[in-house]
Amino acid sequence: MKKRKWIAFSFAALCLGGALGLGLLPGTEAPETQVEAKSKVVKKDKTPKEPKSSDLTVVQTVTKLASRRWIQSFTYDSRYYYFIQMTKPSVGNLRITRVKYKGLGKYTTAKMDLRGFGHATNLDCSVYNGKTYLWTGSNAAKGSDVSRAVSCFTFQKNRILKKNGSVYYKIPKGTTGKYVTNVYPAVSADSSKLGVRFTYQGKQYFQIYELMNGTRINVRNPIEQIVLPATTGDFQGFDIDGTKICTIEGSPRKSFLKGYDRTRKYQPTIIRTWDYGTGAMSRKVIKGAARLSFREPEGVKLMENGKMRIMYVSNTLTNQSCNIYDVK
C-alpha cells in the first residue's frame, strides 16, 4: 500500500493572482529563485511541541540531511520516507535520501544521486506489486534546472542516475499540443493516477493520467486537464487524490527574510484544494509550527483517509532539516 475532460476554474472565484516568469514555452514559469547565504548553524535543531490549539500534529521530528543542499520535497511508502534536495541552483543535480524511522528522532539513512534532472519541485511515489517507484522531474538541459520530462525509477542505494530514470515521459499540452517544460509529477494515494503540473500563460495546468502498473501512462490521452490561476505565493508542491488537487505555497518565516533576504516578501503557508469532480474549492492558512526555525513549507501529500501531510524545513538555509506534520 502506498502512503498515502477540460475544466477551468475562474480567477475571480478563487481570488488568486500572481505573475509567472518565462520558461522554454511562452508563459511558462521559471523555478523559484534560491538565495545564497552564509548562516550560523542552529546547534540543537529541534521540532517544538505543538499546543492542542495548533492546526498541526507532529508526525516526524527533525531529520538531518546533507548540508549545503536545498530540501525541495518528500514522499513516503509503507516502509520509508524519501526526501529530495537540490545540490546547486541552475544545474539540475539532486540527491534523494531514504529514511527509515525507528521512533521519534531515531532513524537510519541511505542516499542516491540524480544528475541533470531538474529543480526537484515535487517528489512522489507509486507502488505496484510491492515495488516502490519514485517520480520527479527530469531531462534538464545542460546548465539548467528546468525539467523537460517526468521520470520514475526505483531507489538504488549509492547509485547515480544521469538525465532520467528507467522510464520517462515528455509531456504535451493536452492531446495534440507541443511538449511543455518545468513539469513535475504527483501520484494518487492508491497509485491509480498520475498528475503532471506545468504553467502556461499565467495559469497552472494539471493533466491527470491513468497510471498502469505503477509506471505507464498514455501521454497523448490525459483523462482530465484542469486549468487554475497561479498561486499568489511561492509554489512549494502539489498532490492529487480521487478528483482532488492540492497545492502548497509560502515563504520562510519573517525573521529569516529580514536577516538574509530583504528583497523577498514574507508569504504565509497556504494550502489550496480543488475538486474537479464537484467544483468545490477551499483555502487554508497554516498557523502551526509557529516556533519552528526557518519554517519554509516544502511539500504536501493527500492521504487515503482524506487528511493532508506536509513538510516544513527548519534550521538554516545551508543546513536544513525536515519536519513532518499532519494537518488537522
pLDDT(17) > 70: no
Is residue 300 a part of any domain in this protein? yes
In this model, does residue 88 exceed pLDDT 90? no
Whether pLDDT at 35 is above 90: no
pLDDT over 80 at 7, yes or no: no
* Domain total in the chain: 1
| Parent domain of 186 | 6-327
Beta-bridged to residue 251, according to DSSP, are none
* pLDDT above 50 for 127: yes
Q: Around 156, how many Cα atoms within 13 Å sit in the side-chain half-sphere?
A: 10
Q: Which residues, at least 6 apart from 92, have a Cβ–Cβ distance to it below 8 Å? A: 115, 116, 117, 118, 119, 140, 144, 145, 147
Q: 58-84, pLDDT tens digit by residue?
A: 999 999 999 999 999 999 999 999 999
Look at residue 263 and tell me if it is in a domain: yes
Computed from CA positions of residues 298, 211, 219, 168, in that sequence, does the dihedral angle turn out positive or negative?
positive
Cell reading at 31 = 523555478
CB 291 within 8 A of CB 328: no
| CA 263/CA 189 separation, integer angstroms | 38
**Residue 206: phi, psi to the nearest 5?**
-125, 115
Q: What is the rounded average pLDDT for all residues in the chain?
A: 89
- pLDDT: which is higher, 1 or 125: 125
Distance of CA 255 to the CA centre of its chain: 24
Is residue 111 situated within a structural domain? yes
**Is residue 15 in some structural domain?**
yes
Main-chain phi, psi angles of 289, to 5 degrees: 55, 35
- Strands in 6-8's sheet, in edge-to-edge order, are 6-8, 224-229, 203-210, 193-200, 184-187
% of residues, the chain, pLDDT over 90: 79
Record the pTM: 0.89
Report if residue 203 sits inside a domain.
yes
Q: Is 153's pLDDT higher than 60?
A: yes
Rounded CA separation 272/59 (Å): 21
CATH (domain of 29)? 2.115.10
Q: Is residue 1 part of a domain?
A: no
Residue 51 in this model has a pLDDT that exceeds 70: yes
Q: Which amino acid is at 69?
A: R
